[in-house]
Amino acid sequence: MTPYADLRREDFRATIDGTPTDLFTLRNRRGMAVRITNYGCKIVQILAPDRDGALGDVVQGYETLERTMAGQPSMGSFIGRYCGRIGGGRFTLDGVEHRTAVNAPPNTLHGGQRGSRFRTFAARQPDETSLELTHVFQDGEEGFPGTLPVRLVYALDEDNALTIAWTAVAADKATVANFTDHTFFNLSGDAGSSILDHVATVNGSRYLALDATAVPTGELVDVTGTPFDFRSPAAFGARIGDGHPMLALGKGYDLHYAVDKPAGALGLHARVVHPGSGRVLEVFSTEPGVQVYTGNFLDGQMPRDLGKGGTLYTRHSAFCLEPSHFPNAVNIPSFPSTALAPGQWYAGRIVYRFGVA
């Protein structure tokens, strides 16, 4: 068994933009632990048991705040104010065109140059099993209209399920919002090993076709007969090299699925099993879609990919399951809307439930 890093709270304490940063630990009575920093609301460690009851760290992250800030910016982060890509860095809302910060040319990605993954949230930990985080996205920030306060609650229960619940409101004018969590998982407990042996099931019969800049075109494609059909369990590595144009574009799996469940209902998005350890991750959410990503842009670069315990994070050493509304929905009327009228609320949940097989 690979030993896990002993993270120190003092290594995450600083002040950024006037807000103190810290490292918070959630625990349940079964021994599971989740560690989160309020810088970017990043999950930096999850200790979950294998089939023999041994705890292992099942997420990638960094040992200090300094390394976290120099690392992969999305790793472990809460993503807002708009996750995924916005094509061309522009959208029209109520007849007015808005131009958003282009940080993945020619597109806006994950909220722009100073999205939530670069922000320090105000934090309050009411008890050992929960953490409350708050932030206000300002009108005009990154080109988005309207003031958007958001409240996040991370809660760990006795069934080894971590829930991330959010509420946000269009405080003063019409706006758009789309949130997700971007935790990088490796259920083996060895964050430097390949996840291509992990066996995945994805509850989606259609995926979103992409253009050459990885922006959804609006077309939903049936997964039948493609390497994207995970309706029956299959290893991530089984078909990742089959040459499909969408796999070549993303250097592996990096696609959004329309989840087969009732709109707004909390439903199963995906299930992943690591055969060696027996660990199982089930992902549930209220969101209509899920991005499946296989760590294709982890490059083993220093210092960006130097993780906990001196582990170098390399290509396909993690996977992400990111429930959200569809990327680029602001530009595609047929997609579930991400627009909020003044005074309208946006609420959602993601549940990561850990078990064994």
Tell me which residues are annotated as active site.
182, 322
Q: Among 267, 260, 122, 132, which Cα is nearest to 203's?
A: 260
Q: Give one word for 191, left, alpha or beta, with left for phi > 0 and alpha for psi -120 to 50.
A: alpha
- Residue 350 class from Cβ within 10 Å (0-12 exposed, 13-18 middle, 19+ buried)? buried
Residue 299 burial (CB count, 10 A): 14
For residues 37 and 22, the answer to whether their CB atoms sit within 8 Å is: yes
Q: Which residues, 6+ apart, have CB-to-CB distance to 158 below 8 Å?
A: 28, 29, 30
The token duo for 217 is 């075109």
Q: Which residues contact 20 (CB under 8 A, 6 or more apart)?
A: 13, 14, 120
Q: Residue length, the chain? A: 357
From CA 54, how far away is CA 14, in angstroms rounded? 33
Q: For 152, phi and psi rounded to 5 degrees?
A: -115, 140
User: Where do the H-state alpha helices sit in the chain?
Assistant: 65-70, 245-250
Token digits for 102?
A: 């282009």
Q: Report the alpha-carbon distance of residue 248 to residue 253 in Å, rounded.
A: 9
The amino acid at 121: F
Quick check: helix, strand or coil at residue 66? helix
> Which amino acid, one-letter code, is at 241?
G
Q: Compute how many other C-beta atoms are within 10 angstroms of the C-beta atom of residue 328.
A: 28
Taking the CA atoms of 212, 216, 218 and 220 in sequence, report the sign of the dihedral they define: positive
Q: List the end-to-end C-alpha distance of the chain, in Å, as a whole number.
A: 18
